[in-house]
């Protein structure tokens, strides 16, 4: 985003009607679909997330708002202070974002898994109004159609990728449906003074818990032993061979989705981010993961 657009965003945020005496606007690092600001009002800090709907990625702000409110009611996310079209103001909590290394620490991994279990068990009971679903295989098919329509340079590889996705979807099979986060980056988990928080619900929706678990593993570089620990902690018993196959298929699909998300963003996004490099990195990660999936599934 250009400096002039940042200035426009800051001016908009400072003029919101929720403030009594707003001051000290600061741009927050992170996020490639929003502008995030920290603003003080009468001695209290607030995070202002500014971003319109992004239909090509299934991001609808009414959905983010509804789940954010439900997540706060469940004791998992900060409170919503104010909302209007394209703007979400959240109470700031004193915390630090987790890193990949943090999540790989055995004790912290168990804490994050416990948090995910609460997300999947509790938030849906507090949700009100329409809530989207997030079925990764639908997302992949939609991305493929969009890339084809746009004449993307990646069009030639899409038939093979979609055939792989169809195979992975069959391996996942029927699923338990929970209200899940669907963007389990370590930076979305905040370590507060006495608890963990989970933020950023723009991709939230009903899905299989396997997607959050697989996303957590890939985003944090968990090794096989850590994945076994994660699954055992989440399900309360060691995973059997069938669960491992289904989990690996979903984990692989989550990497393909991140890859194709970036392919689409190369065409549609106006933000200052090197999507082409991000596509290349994630495509390489996906290809490695797919070979591992084939090995676990028993294909030659």
Residue 1 is predicted with a pLDDT of 47
pTM value is 0.94
Length of the chain: 300
Among candidate residues 213, 246, 10, the one with its CA nearest the CA of residue 117: 213
> Alpha-carbon distance 256 to 239, whole Å?
24
Helix H or strand E encompassing 87: strand 87-91
Domain 96-297: assigned CATH number: 3.90.1200.10
Residues 6+ apart with CB under 8 A from 168: 137, 249, 250, 252, 253, 256, 293
The topology under which CATH files domain 3-93 is Phosphorylase Kinase; domain 1 (3.30.200)
* pLDDT tens profile 84-94: 999 999 999 99
Q: Which residues of the chain have pLDDT under 70?
A: 1-5, 30-32, 299-300
Helices (H), the chain: 3-14, 61-73, 100-104, 106-122, 136-149, 158-172, 209-220, 224-235, 241-268, 275-297
Locate the domains of the chain by residue range.
3-93, 96-297
Is there a common fold for 3-93 and 96-297? no
* pLDDT tens profile 148-174: 999 999 999 999 999 999 999 999 999
Residue 271 is predicted with a pLDDT of 75
């Amino acid at each position: 985003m250009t400096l002039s657009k940042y200035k426009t965003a800051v001016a908009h945020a400072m003029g919101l009607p929720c403030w009594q005496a707003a001051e000290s606007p600061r741009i927050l690092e992170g996020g490639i679909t929003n502008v995030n600001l920290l603003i003080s009002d009468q001695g209290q800090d607030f995070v202002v997330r500014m971003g319109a709907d992004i239909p090509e990625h299934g991001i609808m702000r009414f959905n983010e708002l509804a789940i954010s409110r439900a997540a706060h009611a469940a004791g998992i996310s900060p409170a919503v202070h104010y909302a209007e079209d394209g703007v979400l103001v959240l109470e700031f909590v004193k915390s630090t974002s987790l890193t990949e290394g943090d999540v790989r620490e055995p004790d912290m991994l168990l804490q994050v898994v416990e948090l995910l279990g609460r997300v999947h068990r509790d938030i849906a009971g507090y949700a009100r109004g329409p809530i989207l679903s997030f079925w990764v295989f639908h997302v992949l098919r939609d991305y493929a159609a969009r890339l084809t329509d746009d004449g993307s340079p990646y069009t030639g590889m899409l038939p093979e990728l979609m055939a792989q996705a169809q195979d992975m979807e069959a391996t996942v099979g029927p699923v338990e449906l929970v209200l899940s986060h669907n963007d389990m980056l370590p930076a979305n988990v905040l370590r507060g003074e006495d608890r963990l928080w989970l933020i950023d619900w723009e991709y939230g929706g009903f899905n299989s818990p396997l997607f959050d678990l697989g996303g957590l593993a890939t985003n944090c570089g968990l090794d096989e032993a850590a994945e076994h620990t994660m699954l055992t902690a989440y399900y309360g018993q060691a995973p059997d061979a069938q669960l491992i196959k289904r989990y690996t298929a979903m984990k692989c699909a989550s990497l393909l989705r991140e890859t194709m998300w970036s392919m689409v963003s190369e065409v549609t996004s106006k933000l200052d981010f090197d999507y082409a490099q991000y596509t290349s990195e994630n495509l390489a990660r996906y290809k490695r993961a797919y070979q591992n999936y084939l090995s676990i599934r028993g294909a030659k």
